[in-house]
Amino acid sequence: MPILDIQNLKTYFHTRTGTTKAVDDVSFSLEKGEILGIVGESGSGKSVTCYSLLGLLPQPPAKIEGGCVPFDGEDLLHVDPAIQRKIRGKRISMIFQDPMSCLNPYLRILDQVMEPMLAHEPGATKEQARERAIEMLKKVGIADAEERAHSFPHEFSGGMRQRVMIAMALVTHPDILLADEPTTALDVTVQARILRLLKELRTELDVSVIFITHDLGVVAEVADRVVVMYRGKVVEEGTVREIFDTPKHPYVKGLLACRPTFQTTSRMLPTVEDFLEGKTTIEVQEPKPAEDTQEEAPPEPLIEVKNLKVHFTQSKDHQLIKAVDDVSLKIPKGKTLGLVGESGCGKTTTGRAILQLVKATSGQVFYDNHDLCQLHRDQLLPYRKKLQIIFQDPYASLNPRMTIEQALSEPIRFHQICTGRAETRDRVVSLLEEVGLSAEHLRRYPHEFSGGQRQRLCVARALAVEPEFIVCDECVSAMDVSIQAQVLNLLRNLQDSHNLTYLFISHDLSVVKFVSDYVAVMKAGKIVEQNTAEDVYRNPHQDYTKELLAAVPGEG
């Protein structure tokens, strides 16, 4: 018996540049007591669907053009605003992606958790609200709830803040909980715990949940049924098993195929475009050549890191932070070393320290028989050509005020790789073509490109100086899975054609396994385990590694 029935929902955005059909005739239903997962990439309309239900969209530019959503005798889309307010927070609650920005930084936690009850249950006294709030905080796993409830949001960690949001949403025992990417911003181990919590609370409090995510693994872990959305429409609907084992729609097939899992053995990833264009899955997969497995001895290290330490003193309370604490790595030439760990473990700092973008406190980084740590800025100049880096955020990685041609020509002219405008321009065009763009993009500015294209531009810029070694610092982490597959394929191709060596830093264990020949696991500034990729994933030695691997959603 569906508790919520969404029928033909249409939500359009009317802006000065045109009309976007964010949600275009979407229908599905939510059964009582189930967790329904809505999966889609950015622009699919999954979040807008839920915002429409609760009337949380700003009515210009958004407009609900059609549909009806019966809920308990009312049509949510056409209900009186006063009644809609009574439903929000009492019958249907919502939690959001970024708990830091979603909690009021100026009010205490207890105050905020008590609010829904005080607003919706007129008979409740402050004492009763306080008790229920604290009880709820304990239920979501906040230890010492009585004391900690008096803190402010910025004093909690990310996982705890999300628990607070969950408590706040469930304090009135609503019928439905809408969860918009609640674990996307969390570490994988924290995510695992929150997913478990949600499943428990669903049973304990008899709540029906709509769980929005872009991560198929998460959906496999937490949902009973799944709805897949693409460009504002529902393309497929079914149980988790149905969707994962027997997908019907080409987009869904593509989505499932293009994400790397622990079982992926091919060198290249199929992309969603392949499926949408009708190419079959068989041709695209090439299993890794047999010689690449275990027994071969690793080639000579291109980069050798010995006892690297990077310590910071926090300016506020003068505490010593050991971001990188005695790390030693060997990165074999022409191969990829994956550096994996959760946020704050020091992997990003390690990458930057190797490139001398961050000053190491002690230790050595050997390249070409020189210790880079001992060199001054001027002495490092020739090495800058050989060692490059690609960053996580493609939006911030390009100077917004330079055209593509300027941005790519600058390193070429600066390092005198080419002389003269014509030669430089030819080289720039060939770089663009290598990363899948073209000469027509020369005069454009970064903000005119999509995220995936910008990341390609960053790759092109890194390639411009003809490097041997590239640090990929979470460079696919901010992307949709389909774009991620394209970029990973590009990196692979370039590695083959230019004989590049990569240090691939990421928190995403599936991607790291796909991309890496060797893997190092990092925790709290130290290397916990280091081996070939196969070994680390098949036979983890350390408990932390095991914990990490078990926490990956959909693989456990």
**Is the Cβ of residue 112 or residue 531 nearer to other proteins in the bound state?**
112
Q: Evaluate whether 178 touches 93 at the Cβ level (below 8 Å).
A: yes
To other proteins, the closest distance from the beta carbon of 105 in angstroms equals: 6
445 binds other proteins (CB under 8 A): yes
120 binds other proteins (CB under 8 A): yes
In terms of C-beta density within 10 A (0-12 exposed, 13-18 middle, 19 or more buried), how is residue 35 classed? Answer: buried
Type of residue found at 95: I
254 binds other proteins (CB under 8 A): no
| Residues 334-373 within binding reach of other proteins (CB under 8 A) | 352, 355, 357
Type of residue found at 101: S
Q: Evaluate whether 519 touches 513 at the Cβ level (below 8 Å).
A: yes
Sign for the pseudo-dihedral over CA of 395, 398, 399, 401:
negative
**Is the Cβ of residue 121 or residue 547 nearer to other proteins in the bound state?**
121
508 binds other proteins (CB under 8 A): no
To other proteins, the closest distance from the beta carbon of 418 in angstroms equals: 15
Alpha helices by DSSP H, listed for 171-301, are 188-205, 216-222, 240-245, 250-258, 272-276, 281-284
For residue 506, count other CB atoms closer than 10 A to its CB: 22
Burial per residue of 336-350, b for 16 or more beta-carbon CB atoms within 10 angstroms, e otherwise = bbbbbbbeebbbbbb
Nearest to residue 260, comparing CAs of 538, 481, 453, 456?
A: 481
> Of the candidates 249, 279, 322, 385, which one interacts with other proteins according to CB under 8 A?
385
Measured between alpha carbons, how far is 247 from 254 in angstroms, rounded to an integer?
9
**Is the Cβ of residue 165 or residue 210 nearer to other proteins in the bound state?**
165
448 binds other proteins (CB under 8 A): yes
Tally the residues of the chain. Answer: 556
Q: Evaluate whether 147 touches 155 at the Cβ level (below 8 Å).
A: no
To other proteins, the closest distance from the beta carbon of 346 in angstroms equals: 17
| Residues 264-323 within binding reach of other proteins (CB under 8 A) | 315-316
Give 162's contacts (C-beta < 8 A, 6+ positions apart): 95, 99, 182, 183, 186, 194
> Of the candidates 42, 293, 307, 313, which one interacts with other proteins according to CB under 8 A?
42
Measured between alpha carbons, how far is 80 from 84 in angstroms, rounded to an integer?
6
**Is the Cβ of residue 267 or residue 415 nearer to other proteins in the bound state?**
415
Residue matched to tokens 């300016």: 315
User: Which region, left, alpha or beta, applies to residue 344 given φ > 0 means left and ψ of -120 to 50 means alpha?
Assistant: left
> Of the candidates 116, 217, 247, 553, which one interacts with other proteins according to CB under 8 A?
116
Total residues at the site for other proteins (CB under 8 A)? 90
101 binds other proteins (CB under 8 A): yes
376 binds other proteins (CB under 8 A): no
To other proteins, the closest distance from the beta carbon of 541 in angstroms equals: 34
At residue 151, the 3 state secondary structure works out as coil
| Residues 470-499 within binding reach of other proteins (CB under 8 A) | 480, 482-483
Beta bridge partners of 18: 15
The two three-digit tokens of residue 122, written as one number: 């007129």
22 binds other proteins (CB under 8 A): yes
| Residues 396-415 within binding reach of other proteins (CB under 8 A) | 396-401, 403, 410-411, 414-415
To other proteins, the closest distance from the beta carbon of 529 in angstroms equals: 29
| Residues 144-183 within binding reach of other proteins (CB under 8 A) | 152, 154-155, 165, 168
235 binds other proteins (CB under 8 A): no
**Is the Cβ of residue 154 or residue 283 nearer to other proteins in the bound state?**
154
> Of the candidates 2, 33, 56, 344, which one interacts with other proteins according to CB under 8 A?
56
**Is the Cβ of residue 217 or residue 394 nearer to other proteins in the bound state?**
394
To other proteins, the closest distance from the beta carbon of 382 in angstroms equals: 8
Nearest to residue 153, comparing CAs of 318, 142, 300?
A: 142
To other proteins, the closest distance from the beta carbon of 289 in angstroms equals: 32
